Amino acid sequence: MSGPALPPWRSVLAVVAHPDDESFGLGAVLSAFVEQGTAVRVLCLTRGEASTLHGVPGDLDAVRERELVDAAKEIGLVGVLLRSYPDGGLAAVALDALAAEAREAARAADADGIVAFDSTGVTGHQDHVRATEAALAAAAVLDLPVLGWTLPRTVADTLNVELGSSFAGHDDDAIDLVVPVDRTRQLRAVTCHASQAVPGSVLWRRLDLLAGREHLRWLTTPSAPAPSTERTGAPAPAATSKDWITP
């Protein structure tokens, strides 16, 4: 296992499936990038409209967009690109289309690297798996490194036993970076997602178990890009300045 430092990227794109993934999952990692001076942007592929949690009144489509923008401000993101692919249905969306979205967003951000959930999806949600597949396919075309957020196997196993969840973790020898984090920004961002941060959520127990550390794996590096079937796919419309939401 290597040292705790994050890569010294000038700009990073995080690719996630749902509003709140940037906070509940990646929040401490993204804020650590922000604190070292990295310009961080997020591409979110769905609006989270199919969530079974509804901690505040209102149409989730609109509520969760507002929550995402507010959370992005707390983390210190430069911009957010919110798309409207079907929540809960990303696996049925052509990988070419999703990868093109990630590729164009990474180009627009002039990203030095991409951050995503681990290739397992971490939580068991297939949308998370698909979002990472899109990130990896885009990175293969652009020759960019991808860092995947993951959990130690001991933490995943504890959550699954205690709460009946479906987290996937890794043994220590499969984890590349163990990064000390300050969760102040992350916790402020989480509170912005009032529709999802309900009492009793598995989130709180996970944060207890992780304490002040986050765990990352290199999913691909420029010298060893991930295989892709996306290279010949039709390009997505380039992300313009009006598409990016500035928190």
The conformational region for residue 87 under phi > 0 = left, psi -120 to 50 = alpha, else beta, is beta
**Per-residue confidence band for 229, with pLDDT thresholds at 50, 70 and 90:** very low
| Sign of torsion over alpha carbons 45, 49, 52, 55 | positive
Compute the average pLDDT of residues 216-239: 57
Tens digit of each residue's pLDDT (9 = 90 or more) over 39-94: 999 999 999 876 655 556 567 778 889 999 999 999 999 999 999 999 999 999 99
Q: What is the pLDDT of residue 22?
A: 97
Compute the average pLDDT of residues 219-241: 51
The model's pTM: 0.89
Domain 11-220 grouped into CATH 3.30.70.920: no
DSSP code for 100: H
Domains of the chain by residue range: 11-220
Q: What is the pLDDT of residue 2?
A: 44
Nearest to 125 by CA among 152, 90, 85, 155: 90
Tens digit of each residue's pLDDT (9 = 90 or more) over 64-73: 899 999 999 9
